[in-house]
Amino acid sequence: MKLNIISILCICCASFSLILTPLLASDKSGDKSADKSTELEQAKEIVKKVNEGLVYLINEVKSKGEEKALEQFNKETPASVWGKGEMYFSTYNCAEYTVVGHPYKPLKGKKLLDLKDKKGKPFFKELCDTAKNNKDGGWVEYWWPKPGKDESVPFRKVAFIKGVEHKLADGTVRFYAQTAGVYSDTLTIKEVSSFK
C-alpha cells in the first residue's frame, strides 16, 4: 500500500512539474518584455538628461568658468543630479580625449584615447568620434563593469553620447561630450538609434 501511495505522489509531482514548467517559462518571457520596455524608457530618459546636461554645462562654463561648471559632474553618486547607481553621466573633452567630469574619481582627468573595454574595443575613441561626427548624438555599445560590482566582470552597455564645441574665454577650444548608458544583454543600437 505504501508503495502505491509513493508511486501516486511521484506521478502527481511529475505531472505538476510538467504543467508548471511552461507556466513559469511564460512568466519569464513576460518579464523580459517588461525589462525591454523599462530599458527603452531608460534610454529615452538618458537622451533627455544628456541633452539637458550639455545645455547646463555650456551655460555654467559661460557664467562660472570651466572648473566651477564641472564640479557638478564630478560629484560621486548619489549626491549628483547627473547620475545615480548604474545610470551615471560622464563628461569628456573629446578635443583632447580626456575625462573632465565623472562621478567615479579614478577616471577623472585621464587621457583615454587608447582605453579599451573588457573585450578589447577602443570604445572611448568610438564614443568621442560618435559625438564629433553626429550633431544630434549617437549610440555606442561596449563592455564595462557596473558601479559597485566586481571590476573584473564586464557587462554589456549601450550608451548615448552627444557633444558640442565650445570656445573658452581664453580662446581654448573644447569639444564637450556627455554620455550615459543602459547596462543590458538585449537592448540593441537599432532599437534606440531613433532616440536623440
- Give the pLDDT confidence of 15-44 residue by residue, as tens digits: 323 332 332 333 334 445 558 889 999 999
Specify the pLDDT at position 43. Answer: 92
Q: How confident is the model at residue 71 (pLDDT cuts 50, 70, 90)?
A: confident
- Give the pLDDT confidence of 131-179 residue by residue, as tens digits: 999 999 999 999 988 888 888 889 999 999 999 999 988 999 999 999 9
Domains, the chain, ordered by start: 30-192 (3.30.450.20)
> How far is Cα 2 from Cα 20, in angstroms, rounded to an integer?
26
Work out the mean pLDDT of the chain and round it to a whole number.
Answer: 79
> How far is Cα 3 from Cα 32, in angstroms, rounded to an integer?
43
- pLDDT tops 60 at residue 4: no
Lowest mean pLDDT of 62-66, 80-84, 89-93, name the range: 80-84
Lowest mean pLDDT of 21-25, 83-87, 89-93, name the range: 21-25
Polymer length in residues for the chain: 196
Dihedral angle of Cα 59, 128, 196, 180, to the nearest 10 degrees: -80
CA separation, residue 147 to residues 73, 79, 84, 93, 154 (Å)? 16, 15, 10, 22, 11
Specify the pLDDT at position 93. Answer: 93
* Better pLDDT: 51 or 15: 51
